[in-house]
Amino acid sequence: MDEGSPEIVPANSPASDLDQEHESSESGDGDVLPEPLSDKLPVPPGELSLYRAAVALRALLLVAFFRYRVTHPVRDAPWLWLAALACELWLALAWLLAQLPKLSPASRAAHLARLASRYGEESLAGVDVLVTAAGVGREPPLATANAVLSALAADYPAGRLACYVSDDGADMLVFEALFAAAGFARRWVPFCRRHGVEPRAPELYFARGVDYLRDRAAPSFVKERRAMKREYEEFKVRINYLAAKARKVPEDGWVMSDGTPWPGNNPRDHPAMIQVLLGHPGDQDAEGNELPRLFYVSREKKPGFQHHRKAGALNALLQSAMLFCIVYCQLRVSALLTNGAYVLNLDYDHCVTNSGALREAMCFLMDPVAGNRTCFVQFPLRVGGDDDGGDRHASRDSVFFDIDMKCLDGIQGPVYVGSGCFFNRKALYDFDPALDEDDDAHGNWCCFGNGKGRALRRTMSTVPLLDSEDSDEQTGADSARTRRRLRSYHAALERHFGHSPAFIASAGQGRSDGGGGGGSDSTAAAACSLLREAIHVVSCAYEERTRWGKDVGWMYGTGGGGVATGFRMHARGWASAYCAPARTAFRTFARPSPSDVLAGASRRAVAAMGVLLSRHCPVWAGAGGRMRLLQRLGYATCVANPLASLPLTAYCALPAACLLTGRSIFPDDVSYYDAVLLILLLSSVAATAALELRWSRVTLRAWWRDQKLWVVTGTSACLAAVFQGILRACAGIDVGFSTSTETAIRSSSDDEGGGGEETSDARRSLRWSNLLISPASLLLGNLAGVVVAVSYGRLASDFLHNYIFITVGRVGSSTDLIEQKIEFVNDGEKRGFLLDILHKQSVRGANGKLQQPLTLIFVETKREADTLRYWLYSKGFPATAIHGDRTQQERESALRSFKSGATPIMVATDERQGVWTVPNVAHVINYDLPKSVEDYVHRIGRTGRAGKAGNATAFFTETNHPLAKGLLELMTEAKRDAPKWLVEYAEKPCYGGPSYSGRGRRGGGGFGGRDYRRSSDYGYGGNDYNNGGGAYGGGGGYSDIAMVVVHRGNWQMLKFGFWVLRWYGDGVVTMGIHLVIELEGLCSITMVYGL
């Protein structure tokens, strides 16, 4: 209709009684407003002020930090520095934008006593519970049955409660499972209401490991509970039989009990089906009381029609639910019925675990002051059983529900998360909220032509409403003008709601007091007519050329119809409420596995990207409407959250790039001011997190799990969703990523029972999907960087300049108890020098014979070892040999002979053998010097143990000249006099090349770094790989791994990251790299370099 069309809300709108009651209370004596049924409780000012101050301080420190980062570039690694800076800026901006809506958190309190005193049982509003299911093949029927049973057993008047189950797959086994659940509900519902059991999902109730006799005085309770548990076990056997039966579909399709084919054998092409399971005349429970109504609905599906998945199923339920209320009213003339003014949306696996949740929601929706402006009430969704303390995935949404949602509740209300939400039906029908006179001088309901301007009209209701003057003119039957306007009005309603006169009539008949509907003159023919009308509204073509999915019901066109639906309501000026009672209201049927967590994160990320890249994008959609700026910013950060996966993934890849290239993203020269700035920044991060946990009451363990999952999902599911959303929006290409989590149908009892070991392992296992390619690649890249850096010995030298190496004892040097002696000899003179040494160290024993102390002689080759052994034996010195060519038996025999002193001389090569465990070696002779000073230290370290003195002699030849400098520094450090010829060799500039450096690179040596092994001259003994060397030779670096922690478990999650903390000897903290690679579950490797 055009903007000048007369419009007004019908007098019998869903909350008209609340309007009238509000007006009457205002016009009463004393103008005293009624007591509110709910209150908004802000965070204590002291806690909130500290939190805001910490956020402001952190923002200022971030500005100072980025000023330092920009003004101190890394010259030798500009691209790595620029990439790191870009990632840091992106993540800092994302944090700041997400923090602004979190500065005014609030909590809600519902007053159930006031609700009971104000509204009696017969005056409560009608509630329609909409449960979505997809089929036995994809979803366990036991979960759907428990969700339905928990809703039917809720603490709410049976005449005001109806449950509608949408079977989008038209599965006959789902229908049979619901039929069995309807039969079991006749005994389960009265049992729950009579004894007040919690939770009221039978699977969760019987699986609880608590004392059910506590606070139970009735002697009949134990007997009834045992009988009910037996009945439930029989019911579960039947449901599980249906699940097993569904695995093999008959070739001719399913057949009903009367022999006719099931209409839904083709899930993509089947007619609409509606069945009343509970609600027929005479339907009562086992005690003769009225039962809530239960309906099975399967909307029509035909090829070539858009079905819009869950949003389409919910809209079909919304249409059929309204008509079913009328059918029920006309058939049950003896009962006072309700046309459900409010709608509860539940997924198939979400059970009602707090029977009073419906009444708590009514405290917000039926509030005489704020009820007419509340579009929905969102409850938190928890996962797992009653106690999630031992479930590592149970707290995935703790931060979101206990922090983010409470913060949005302090602005205009929380977002809609897809389940566990009570909707005001008039908000779903695109009505505008009731506004104060200051906001709208034209009354509580307004659509077009209100004088607010074009910007405001874009977000206002498009429902065509009849003007009050035309309503009065309807009494004049002869007015042609009235007839024309009425025809135009009804045509506009059909364009808005669809071609269903019965539905259009019911759209304005929702009442909160349960009145209205048929009377005693209703007939079965009228009921059948309305039933046919209900079939019509769930047909494929009904929504064509209407406002369904655009302005009415759940939004279409995006993967995140839930977020877009809530955003549309907030843009029109509606407010939502967040209710988090002490007892969890809604909980998932089973605890999630790691694959379930990953798949859920993928679905949420894809939905968020669908909203971000659609016409419902919160950045520009509904501009100029009634939505508050911070509320819009909260929506924007919510749907833009997957974009943070791009800088996060890049930042996680930077450690590998630094380690593989030998570059750093941080500068080397850091002043004292910059170090203090870094300490303050890290302290502000910890302070904001601690203060946030304080006012939200979220545990540190839950917060830490959320942080780890943010990294895991950010590098996997969110990253894939970003590319998937961009390709879908820009090129129309739908790239699907495997998120299959097909697991055995499990229940809570399997997890709790002793025989559920296989199910428990399945719950903790992670099934491979292509979403894990990115985090696995990051893991392997970081591990490769660590391996390469360690193998080249450059971790400490590259990233930890002037670091402190914490050791136990002296690493890389010899002990003071070893008397070192280096003899310059020619190759032909070695045997003569060796005989002189052996003769000099011979001592006469108690028996008068000459004896040799245990002497270890190192040679270079195995052949030389055998040759030298036989030569010594021929000279009268008992000797043995050990090397790799000897058998294990020969090596063990030689070792026993050497330890016992039978052959006190051992000739060995550098191969690591058991000989190194001999404690009483008195003399080590390097017949052939090794090719590195490190190996020389290892050799002479075989003597001088346990506080005993030892001797070490080395034969130095011309070929050993590259070792001169290292040997000289080693002897100087050990306070031993070095021969002059060794000093002359060490001072020659040609020595120190790469020939024998081993571990170095670019002319590097083996050592490097500070403390006991680094030379004071940075150019020769330092850890600068460009100019310096190790303890001998050129550059290089010795890998100082100060701490390595490893533990084993199962594959569950991956985490990468690195910190930027380094400690100077003079007490100054500067930036370096602290690499953390964590495969939590499989193993956890934490390598801290340079503590």
Structure tokens given for 121: 């049982």
Q: What is the pLDDT of residue 667?
A: 79
Based on the domain organization, do 209 and 60 belong to the same domain?
no
In a domain, 454, yes or no: no
Based on the domain organization, do 79 and 150 belong to the same domain?
no
- Contact at 8 Å (CB) between 695 and 44? yes
CA atoms within 13 A on the CB side of 715: 24
Number of domains in the chain: 4
Nearest by Cα to 909 from 930, 879, 932: 930
Instruction: Read off the pLDDT of each residue in 974-978 and give the average, rounded to a whole number.
Output: 80
Q: What is the pLDDT of residue 9?
A: 39
Whether residue 332 is predicted with pLDDT greater than 70 in this model: the reply is no
88 is in an annotated binding site: no
Q: What is the pLDDT of residue 464?
A: 58
Q: How far is CA 108 from CA 31, 101, 363, 581, in A?
A: 26, 17, 11, 9
Question: Using one digit for the tens of pLDDT, what is the confidence trace for 659-671?
Answer: 888 788 887 777 7
Based on the domain organization, do 972 and 1085 belong to the same domain?
no
Based on the domain organization, do 277 and 181 belong to the same domain?
yes
Structure tokens given for 272: 């609409």
Q: Which residue has 């042609």 as its token pair?
A: 480
Based on the domain organization, do 68 and 216 belong to the same domain?
no
300 is in an annotated binding site: no
Nearest by Cα to 15 from 469, 429, 492, 548: 429
Least confident of 61-75, 411-425, 617-631, 752-766: 752-766
Instruction: Read off the pLDDT of each residue in 1060-1089 and give the average, rounded to a whole number.
Output: 34
Residue with more model confidence, 33 or 124: 124
Residue with more model confidence, 86 or 620: 86
Structure tokens given for 222: 């134990």
User: What is the distance between the alpha carbons of residues 1012 and 813, in angstroms, rounded to a whole number?
Assistant: 7
Residue with more model confidence, 306 or 242: 242
Residue with more model confidence, 971 or 561: 971
The domain boundary residue, chosen from 567, 592, 617: 592
Q: Which residue has 């495969």 as its token pair?
A: 1079
The domain boundary residue, chosen from 592, 624, 645: 592
pLDDT band at 994 (very low <50, low <70, confident <90, very high): very low
Q: What is the pLDDT of residue 709?
A: 85
In a domain, 390, yes or no: yes
The DSSP symbol for 158 reads G
Q: What is the pLDDT of residue 560?
A: 57
In a domain, 701, yes or no: yes
% of the chain exceeding 90 in pLDDT:
19
Based on the domain organization, do 85 and 194 belong to the same domain?
no
Q: Which amino acid does the sequence have at 165?
A: V
Q: What is the pLDDT of residue 217?
A: 60
Q: What is the mean pLDDT of the chain?
A: 72
Based on the domain organization, do 154 and 205 belong to the same domain?
yes
* Contacting residues for 696 by C-beta, under 8 A, at least 6 apart: 105, 402, 403, 406
pTM score: 0.67
User: What is the distance between the alpha carbons of residues 783 and 629, in angstroms, rounded to a whole number?
Assistant: 45
Residue with more model confidence, 695 or 675: 695
Whether residue 492 is predicted with pLDDT greater than 60 in this model: the reply is yes
In a domain, 1042, yes or no: no
Dihedral over Cα of 417, 423, 428, 434: its sign: negative
Torsion angles phi and psi, residue 387, rounded to 5 = -125, 115
Question: Using one digit for the tens of pLDDT, what is the confidence trace for 686-740?
Answer: 999 999 999 988 888 888 888 888 888 888 889 988 988 888 878 777 665 544 4
In a domain, 449, yes or no: no
CA atoms within 13 A on the CB side of 497: 26
Nearest by Cα to 294 from 84, 193, 173, 152: 152
Structure tokens given for 820: 């070192």
pLDDT band at 944 (very low <50, low <70, confident <90, very high): confident
Q: Is 874 exposed, middle or buried (0-12, 13-18, 19+ CB in 10 A)?
A: exposed
Strands 1069-1070 and 818-824, by their bridges, are unpaired
The stretches of 746-794 forming alpha helices (DSSP H) are 748-752, 757-764, 773-792
Q: Which residue has 């009735």 as its token pair?
A: 218
Structure tokens given for 541: 């073509």
Cis bond upstream, residue 199 (ω within 30): yes
In a domain, 462, yes or no: no
Based on the domain organization, do 588 and 601 belong to the same domain?
no
Q: What is the pLDDT of residue 975?
A: 78
In a domain, 87, yes or no: yes
Instruction: Read off the pLDDT of each residue in 881-886 and give the average, rounded to a whole number.
Output: 86
For 427, the 3-state DSSP assignment is helix
Based on the domain organization, do 877 and 944 belong to the same domain?
yes
Whether residue 1038 is predicted with pLDDT greater than 70 in this model: the reply is no
Q: At what angle do helices 172-195 and 220-245 cross, to 10 degrees?
A: 170
Which CATH number do you get for residue 146?
3.90.550.10
Instruction: Read off the pLDDT of each residue in 225-244 and give the average, rounded to a whole number.
Output: 89
Nearest by Cα to 555 from 545, 544, 566: 566
User: What is the distance between the alpha carbons of residues 866 and 914, in angstroms, rounded to a whole number?
Assistant: 18
Instruction: Read off the pLDDT of each residue in 1080-1091 and give the average, rounded to a whole number.
Output: 33
pLDDT band at 844 (very low <50, low <70, confident <90, very high): confident
Dihedral over Cα of 667, 673, 679, 680: its sign: negative
Least confident of 183-187, 211-215, 445-449, 962-966: 445-449
User: What is the distance between the alpha carbons of residues 696 and 705, in angstroms, rounded to a whole number?
Assistant: 16
Whether residue 800 is predicted with pLDDT greater than 80 in this model: the reply is no
Q: What is the pLDDT of residue 981?
A: 86
Structure tokens given for 694: 């304080």
Q: Which residue has 């909350």 as its token pair?
A: 15
Radius of gyration of the chain (CA): 40
Instruction: Read off the pLDDT of each residue in 446-451 and give the average, rounded to a whole number.
Output: 40
1055 is in an annotated binding site: no
Whether residue 146 is predicted with pLDDT greater than 60 in this model: the reply is yes
How many helices (H) and strands (E) would you count in the chain? 36, 29
Instruction: Read off the pLDDT of each residue in 941-954 and give the average, rounded to a whole number.
Output: 80
Domain that holds residue 1081: 1059-1090
Long-range contacts of 618-623 (CB under 8 A, 24+ apart): 618/567, 621/567, 621/571, 622/458, 622/459, 622/567, 622/568, 622/571, 622/572, 623/455, 623/458
In a domain, 756, yes or no: no
How far is the first Cα of the chain from the last one, in angstroms, to the nearest whole number? 73
Torsion angles phi and psi, residue 117, rounded to 5 = -75, -25
Based on the domain organization, do 207 and 232 belong to the same domain?
yes
Based on the domain organization, do 587 and 602 belong to the same domain?
no
The domain boundary residue, chosen from 987, 1013, 1028: 987
Least confident of 50-54, 298-302, 403-407, 1047-1051: 1047-1051
Q: What is the pLDDT of residue 1053?
A: 32
How many other C-beta atoms lie within 10 A of the C-beta of residue 136? Answer: 26
Whether residue 337 is predicted with pLDDT greater than 70 in this model: the reply is no
Based on the domain organization, do 275 and 353 belong to the same domain?
yes
Question: Using one digit for the tens of pLDDT, what is the confidence trace for 244-274?
Answer: 877 777 777 777 776 777 776 666 776 788 8
Estimate the share of the chain in helix, then strand, then coil, as percent rounded to the nearest 5: 45, 15, 40
pLDDT band at 845 (very low <50, low <70, confident <90, very high): confident
pLDDT band at 597 (very low <50, low <70, confident <90, very high): confident
For 333, the 3-state DSSP assignment is coil
Question: Using one digit for the tens of pLDDT, what is the confidence trace for 416-425?
Answer: 988 899 998 8
- Contact at 8 Å (CB) between 311 and 418? no
Q: What is the pLDDT of residue 1057?
A: 36
pLDDT band at 53 (very low <50, low <70, confident <90, very high): very high
436 is in an annotated binding site: no
